[in-house]
Amino acid sequence: MTTLTAPAPPGIRRPAVPWARLAWVTWRQHRAGLAGVAALFAGLGLLLLVNGLAMRGSLASLGLNACHPVSAPRCATQLSIFDSDYAIWRNTVPALLQVLPALIGVFTGGPLLARELESGTFRFAWTQGAGRTRWVLAKLILLAVPVTGAAAAFSLLFSWWYQPFLAEGSSLMAPVIFDLSGGVFAAWALAGFAVGAFAGIAIRRIVPAMAAALAGWAGLAVTTALYLRPAYQAPLVARLVRQGQYLIPARSYVTSAWWISPDGRPMSSSAVSSLIQRLERQGLNPKAWVIQHHYGQGITYQPESRFWPFQLIEGGWLLALALILGAATVWLVRRRAA
């Protein structure tokens, strides 16, 4: 009996995992993180909704709805009562909400890839038909889309909540309001997520990646507020025309102010302070004296009409940054040795 031998059949390539199944696995892996984001936005949104309804009820009960504008002198007493009740909300809530994109980057984007790289479980996905590119794209896209959508919905709710303060003269161009309104807040959330994901694949350790995501977001936010946003368009300049009044559009955001000497030259803050102290020692009224002697004031300001152009500029480059970081993340995954 003769035994015939034949060469071993060539290796059969495992078929790629369908996108639907890959999406289901990604959802199962990261549903806790997405639930945390949903709970955070839902909790804060409920707070804004309840407080916003209470503010509108207070405006109606005080009769401020009949005041046009709300800041009219005949409504000063009612407005003072409203401010005493809700000024702390106006000053505190927007400042606290600034950290939301950072939290998304740190707790959602940071561990997204770093957890699997640190534990080594990524090897299983790479060898079971998912492939590197499909694996990382599924994670990035399937988490970035709901996170960005939730941020956009929350931004709409915040804009509704803040409307009563805009009626008082607050400006949408104020830094702590600008990046919570329009489409920029969603863009910041997406950028924070992308920064975290990139830090995760670059560092490959959960805690250092989260720390790097926080530092990266903070540096980006500070740089934008201090240098980038003021450079979108140069602020306009106005001079005081009479005591306490400037010829500028309503709800403009004043970026700087200075005193002007009678000969038209700007005065330093130290020179103004020295002048006021000298007048007080002589028993004179500084405010009346400087007006009488033709001292003036100048300001630079950003009109609220620039809100949407600035939103498009900032939202555009944040979106581009997120796409670049996403592409860099995919590139690093493809280059990393298993």
What are the domain boundaries of the chain? 19-234+305-335, 253-302
Amino acid identity for residue 190 in this structure:
L
**pTM of this prediction?**
0.85
Cβ 200 vs Cβ 114: under 8 Å: yes
- Judged by phi (left if over 0) then psi (alpha if -120 to 50, else beta), residue 39 lies in alpha
Cβ 190 vs Cβ 208: under 8 Å: no
For residue 49, what is the enclosing H or E element? helix 19-61
Alpha helices in 62-131 (DSSP H): 76-97, 100-104, 110-119, 122-127
Cβ 110 vs Cβ 209: under 8 Å: yes
CA proximity to 267, closest of 302, 236, 296: 296
Provide the pLDDT for residue 31. Answer: 83
Cβ 224 vs Cβ 187: under 8 Å: no
Beta strands in 171-273 (DSSP E): 236-242, 245-246, 253-260, 266-267
**What's 267's DSSP letter?**
E
CA proximity to 309, closest of 184, 217, 189, 225: 184
Cβ 238 vs Cβ 301: under 8 Å: yes
**What's 64's DSSP letter?**
G
Distance separating alpha carbons of residues 12 and 219, to the nearest angstrom: 49
Provide the pLDDT for residue 32. Answer: 84
Provide the pLDDT for residue 313. Answer: 97
Distance separating alpha carbons of residues 50 and 83, to the nearest angstrom: 18
Compute φ and ψ for 285, nearest 5 degrees.
-85, 110
Compute φ and ψ for 26, nearest 5 degrees.
-60, -45
> In the chain, which stretches have pLDDT less than 70?
1-21, 122-130, 240-246, 337-338
Q: Point out which residues pair with 299 in neighbouring strands.
A: 238, 257
Distance separating alpha carbons of residues 91 and 335, to the nearest angstrom: 47
Omega cis (within 30) before 235? no
- Please list the helix, strand and coil fractions of the chain in percent, rounded to the nearest 5, in that order: 70, 10, 25
Provide the pLDDT for residue 272. Answer: 84
Amino acid identity for residue 82 in this structure:
F
